[in-house]
Amino acid sequence: MAQTASDLSTDAVAVIADALNQAVAETVVTTMLAQNYHWNVTGMSFGPLHALFQEIYEDHFVGQDDLAERIRAIGAVAEGKLAGQLERSKVEEGDEGASDKEMIRHLAEAQETIGATLAGLGAVAAEHGDARTEDLAIERGRIHDKFAWILRSHLR
């Protein structure tokens, strides 16, 4: 088991960094998705959704930074171009004209996508003995699971 980032093999760093960059890309796209919906939500639920979407994008901004800093800590390069993030991400940008329910559904699906990506990251990190990255993946995954639950609750 690797005790520090410098104990990771070159191969481990490459695989873990790729998985981390995937998580960063999806978090970046979902950050903007939540901000887009925060700006453009309308209807009877405007107040609570406006606040919820802000809570999501503020959390995700910190989360993307934590993930990218972990990439740097293990000695790899964090993808910093928006075009690269969009190309890599499984989460797609949203339509600012979507209904409030479409916004909620899309953001819930994005949370679940990131959650699955983070579960994969955690497994890759564990396989290579990188407990710190595994811990970060678990922590972030818990947050995305909670946001998915909160969002899905609005649709019931």
The residue segments making up the domain with residue 16 are 5-154
Domain count for the chain, please give it: 1
State pLDDT tens for residues 58-70: 999 999 999 999 9
Can you give the CATH number for the domain in which 51 is found?
1.20.1260.10
* DSSP letters for the chain: --SSGGGS-HHHHHHHHHHHHHHHHHHHHHHHHHHHHHHH--STTHHHHHHHHHHHHHHHHHHHHHHHHHHHHTT------HHHHHHH-SSPP--TT--HHHHHHHHHHHHHHHHHHHHHHHHHHHHTT-HHHHHHHHHHHHHHHHHHHHHHHHT-
State pLDDT tens for residues 113-146: 999 999 999 999 999 999 999 999 999 999 999 9
